[in-house]
Chain A
Amino acid sequence: MGEMFKMGGYEVYVWGSVLLGVAVYAWNLVAPSLQRRAVLARLAEGDEESSGDAS
């Protein structure tokens, strides 16, 4: 099993890439929900300060 993780000596590059990939996937999964929370909070406050687009 240890051999599998060593990736023939390329473990830093392979696992580094996988880790970054998983981080970007996770960010894309979670960030829209966090943005939703912020938008809903803004709407709940009445959001008067940025009403420049009332047109």
Chain B
Amino acid sequence: MWTWFHRLASPPSFYRFADRVAPWLAVAALLLLGYGLFAGLWIAPKDYQQGDAFRIIYVHVPAAALSLSLYTGMAIAGVVALIWRIKLAECAIVALAPIGASFTALALVTGMLWGKPMWGAYWVWDARLTSELVLLFLYLGVIGLDQAFLDRRAAARACALLAIVGAVNVPIVKYSVEWWNSLHQASTILKFGKPTITAEMAIPLYASLLGAYLLAGMAALRRMQNEVLLRERRAGWVRELTAV
């Protein structure tokens, strides 16, 4: 097991592994997302309170869940990069930031589109919404910091620090609906115990969630490969690969 991890952590092995896995992730993600959206929009019953407006959940919840998961992944990669100086972890920080930023922006905008008909306002400076907006700024900070350095390793170290410091915001986003009075509802499915949602609504949601995670995984592998190519451009295996 550990030898497998060690082998994978070497850039050429990782590159080949990502080449094999990424296409399958993309296909599975598209199938799950396609089913999730179709079933969520047309097959799932209306919500008894929110009517058809609740269907925004099939876009909003996967995006919001990913916004937190990807940031957590980025902060863990930051710790690994700073302590063990593993190059792949450095690549992961840089790769995850734009993906996370895109899903955080999606969660915010779809949240606004859901908030308007349900709460009567696109935006309120409420704990959940504000901390999610701070999360977007943290992602943008990591992207900006990465581009501010010519040296890829120095950039990754700076990004790692910001990612780790910013991780304090992750539990704040997650638990904001419990810690403070919020317009935002508490979690329906992402909690321990029995979900408080019917299976006809829940199954398309689980499919959308899994599909979005696989898509983000695919994008992360591909972006990490790009970063590996840039960093290893003087290595023999990259020269061979790009000479064709």
Q: What sequence of 0s and 1s flags, for each residue 23-66 of chain B, a beta carbon within 8 Å of any chain A beta carbon?
A: 00010001001000100011000100001110110111001000
Q: Are B60 and A17 in contact (CB under 8 A)?
A: yes
Q: Given the complex, which residues of B lie within 8 Å of A33, measured CB to CB?
A: 222
The number of A-B residue pairs with CB atoms under 8 Å apart is 110
Whole-angstrom CA separation of A36 from B30 in the bound complex? 21
Q: How many residues of A contact B (CB 8 A)?
A: 34
Q: With A10-B117, A18-B41, A20-B106 as known contacts, state yes or no: A32 contacts B219, CB within 8 Å.
A: yes
CB-defined contacts of B142 to chain A, threshold 8 Å? none
Q: Is the CB of B53 within 8 A of A13?
A: yes
Contacts A25-B212, A28-B216 given; indicate if A40 touches B110 (C-beta within 8 A): no
Question: Cβ of A53 and Cβ of B117 under 8 Å apart?
Answer: no
In contact, B151 and A17 (Cβ under 8 angstroms): no
- Specify the chain B residue showing the minimal Cβ separation from A15: B41
Establish whether residues A13 and B230, one from each chain, have CB atoms under 8 Å apart when the complex forms: no
> Which of chain A's residues have a CB closer than 8 A to the CB of B105?
24
Given contacts A20-B106, A43-B233, contact A28 B59 (CB under 8 A): no
- Asked if B113 and A53 make an inter-chain contact with CB atoms under 8 angstroms apart, the answer reads no
Q: Taking chain B's interface residues, is the majority helix, strand, or loop, or is none over half, making it mixed?
A: helix
CB distance from A49 to the nearest CB of B (A): 9
A13 touches B116 (CB 8 A): yes
A24–B37 Cα gap in the complex (Å)? 14
**Is B169 in contact with chain A by the CB < 8 A criterion?**
no
The minimal Cβ–Cβ distance linking B208 to chain A, given in whole angstroms, is 9
Contact status A7-B226, CB under 8 Å: no
B42 touches A17 (CB 8 A): no
A-side residues, CB < 8 A to B, are 4, 7-10, 13-14, 16-18, 20-22, 24-25, 27-29, 31-33, 35-36, 39-40, 42-44, 47, 50, 52-55
Sampled A-B contacts (18; CB under 8 Å):
A8-B53, A10-B51, A14-B41, A14-B56, A16-B113, A17-B110, A18-B58, A20-B113, A21-B110, A25-B212, A29-B215, A32-B222, A32-B223, A32-B225, A32-B226, A40-B242, A42-B230, A54-B234
